[in-house]
Every structure is written in structure tokens, then in C-alpha cells.
């Protein structure tokens, strides 16, 4: 249930109800995203096969990750956009409701948004002036730049980056989310990459004489953003 500050008009109450509705819809998209990810992982999302190539005297291991089902980027985009939109709508209401006597220029109206900044620069300083002091001070306490070099771990920064990617550049889901390690020193030198996976061509002499099973250790994750296929050294 939403609580309204004293002096909030009926129109503003409706706007706050809409923000709450938008936030709940974002949660529904997030829940759908989790369900789709769980379904994909159970498929499974990747395959590992191997065979002895006697002709070329190799033991060939092939690790391949499947294409991300389109239901995942759809749900992700809807969640990100709904949540970021709800925050911007909240910022708009805080700028207007908590300073009812203030008027804004057309440019200022366009600049009102929920502040998420990596740097405390002049743009941030100008934007915070669009809000009442109590709101501006609150924004100061949640900015990603406060984490220093760890700003990428900040949930607000992550949300804003995903939102920017989804709007302007690409669907922010990467297929490249597999971490692999084979239990043999120097295995990377036998690795051959291809789209959506790689092969490891162990010389049979090394593979057959290995004191351990060559089954790889695999960690699977869904990467949001512009990730790249990685393997652990």
C-alpha cells in the first residue's frame, strides 16, 4: 500500500499509483526471466562430447553452448525498461510534489530523471539542483561513483547500463557464459575456438597417460551485458 505525503493532490496520488503499478509489472517480468533461465539451464544449456581421433592421434573434446532462447532477452528487456521507467517517474514526482511552488523550464523538465552517475561531474551537480534539497541529498548517498573502482558492482549502475544497451545498442544478453577448466596443465595450448564454443585437441599420448580423468570442470552463468566467451586458465 502506498502512503502519500501531506499536500499531495489527487493527480499526484494517481501518478504514484502508476509508479507502484509499473514496479509490480517489472517484478512480474523479473520472475518470468528467472523461470526462463531455469528452464534453459535444465535443457541443458551446453553440451560436452569427446572422441579419440586415431587418424590424427588426438583426443578431441568439444564444448558447445546452445543459443539463448529468445524468451530470455525478451523478459530481460521488459524488466529493465519497466524498472528504469518506474524510477524516472518517481524522480519526476519527487521534483514536482516536494517543491509544489517551483516552475521548470522546458530544458529542465527534459533533464529530470532518477540520478545514476558513475562520476560526480558537472552534469550530476546540475541535475541534482532540479530536486528539493532533501531529495538531492538522498541521491548523493546512492551514486555508483561512491564505490570507486567497484562501481560495476553497483545494482543501480548495472540497471542503467542494461537499460542503455537495450535502448541504443543491442539486446543485453550474451550467449558467452561458460567457464571451463580441464584438469591438465597447459591445456589451453590445445584449444581451438569456434562460434558458440571450442574444441581441445589433446595428443593421445598425453591424454591416455594422464593420471586423472580429463572431464572438464564447467561453471555456467547467464551474462547480462556485452560479455565474451571465457575459459579459466
Q: Tell me what the mean pLDDT of segment 187-213 comes to.
A: 85
From 128, 144, 124, select the one nearest 136 (Cα to Cα).
Answer: 128
**The pLDDT of residue 5 is above 80:** no
**The pLDDT of residue 153 is above 90:** yes
Looking at residue 1, what is its pLDDT? 42
**The pLDDT of residue 98 is above 90:** no
The larger pLDDT score, comparing residue 156 to residue 226, is at 156
Q: Tell me what the mean pLDDT of segment 33-57 comes to.
A: 90
Q: By percentage, how much of the chain surpasses pLDDT 70? A: 89
Dihedral of CA atoms 30, 128, 110, 147 in degrees, nearest 10, equals: -40
**The pLDDT of residue 201 is above 70:** yes
Looking at residue 233, what is its pLDDT? 33
Q: Is the dihedral of CA 3, 113, 173, 191 positive or negative?
A: negative
Nearest-angstrom CA–CA distance, 73 and 148: 30
Looking at residue 176, what is its pLDDT? 56
Looking at residue 226, what is its pLDDT? 67
What angle (nearest 5°) sits at the alpha carbon of residue 60, between those of residues 232 and 42?
60
**The pLDDT of residue 171 is above 60:** yes
Q: Name the pLDDT band for 148 (thresholds 50, 70, 90).
A: very high
Looking at residue 147, what is its pLDDT? 95
- CB burial of 83-119 (b: ≥16 within 10 Å; e: otherwise) equals bbbbbbbbbbbbbbbbbeeeeeeeeeeeebebbbbbe
Q: How many CB atoms lie within 10 A of CB 52?
A: 14
**The pLDDT of residue 62 is above 50:** yes
| Start-to-end Cα distance in the chain | 51
Report the DSSP beta bridge partners of residue 47: 64
- CB burial of 128-161 (b: ≥16 within 10 Å; e: otherwise) equals bebbeeebbeebeeebbeeeeeebeebebbbbbb
- What does pLDDT average to over the chain? 86
**The pLDDT of residue 7 is above 60:** no
Q: Name the pLDDT band for 199 (thresholds 50, 70, 90).
A: very high
> In which residue are the cell numbers 560479455 written?
227
Looking at residue 56, what is its pLDDT? 93
Q: By percentage, how much of the chain surpasses pLDDT 90? A: 57
**The pLDDT of residue 211 is above 90:** no
Nearest-angstrom CA–CA distance, 82 and 91: 14
Report the DSSP beta bridge partners of residue 219: 179
Q: What pLDDT, in 10s, does the model give residues 217-230?
A: 888 777 787 653 33
From 54, 71, 26, select the one nearest 203 (Cα to Cα).
Answer: 54
Any alpha helices (H) in the chain, and if so which ranges?
10-41, 71-97, 106-111, 122-128, 133-140, 155-168, 204-209
Amino acid at each position: 500500500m502506498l502512503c502519500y505525503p501531506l499536500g499531495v493532490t489527487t493527480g499526484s496520488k494517481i501518478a504514484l499509483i502508476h509508479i507502484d503499478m509499473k514496479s509490480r509489472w517489472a517484478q512480474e517480468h523479473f520472475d518470468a526471466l528467472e523461470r526462463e533461465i531455469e528452464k534453459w539451464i535444465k535443457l541443458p544449456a551446453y553440451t560436452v562430447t569427446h572422441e579419440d581421433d586415431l587418424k590424427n592421434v588426438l583426443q578431441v573434446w568439444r564444448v558447445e553452448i546452445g543459443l539463448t532462447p529468445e524468451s530470455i532477452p525478451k523478459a530481460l528487456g521488459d524488466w529493465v525498461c519497466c524498472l528504469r521507467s518506474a524510477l524516472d517517474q518517481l524522480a519526476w514526482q519527487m521534483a514536482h510534489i516536494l517543491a509544489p511552488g517551483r516552475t521548470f523550464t522546458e530544458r529542465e523538465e527534459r533533464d529530470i530523471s532518477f540520478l545514476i552517475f558513475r562520476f560526480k561531474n558537472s552534469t550530476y551537480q546540475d541535475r541534482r539542483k532540479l530536486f528539493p534539497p532533501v531529495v538531492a541529498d538522498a541521491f548523493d548517498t546512492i551514486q555508483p561513483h561512491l564505490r570507486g573502482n567497484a562501481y560495476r558492482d553497483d545494482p543501480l549502475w548495472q540497471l542503467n547500463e542494461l537499460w542503455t544497451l537495450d535502448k541504443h545498442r543491442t539486446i543485453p544478453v550474451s550467449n558467452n557464459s561458460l567457464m571451463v577448466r580441464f584438469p591438465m596443465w597447459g591445456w589451453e595450448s590445445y584449444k581451438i575456438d569456434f562460434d558458440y564454443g571450442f574444441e581441445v585437441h589433446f595428443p593421445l599420448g598425453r591424454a591416455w597417460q594422464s593420471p586423472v580423468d580429463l572431464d572438464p570442470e564447467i561453471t555456467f552463468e547467464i551474462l547480462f551485458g556485452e560479455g565474451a566467451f571465457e575459459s579459466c586458465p
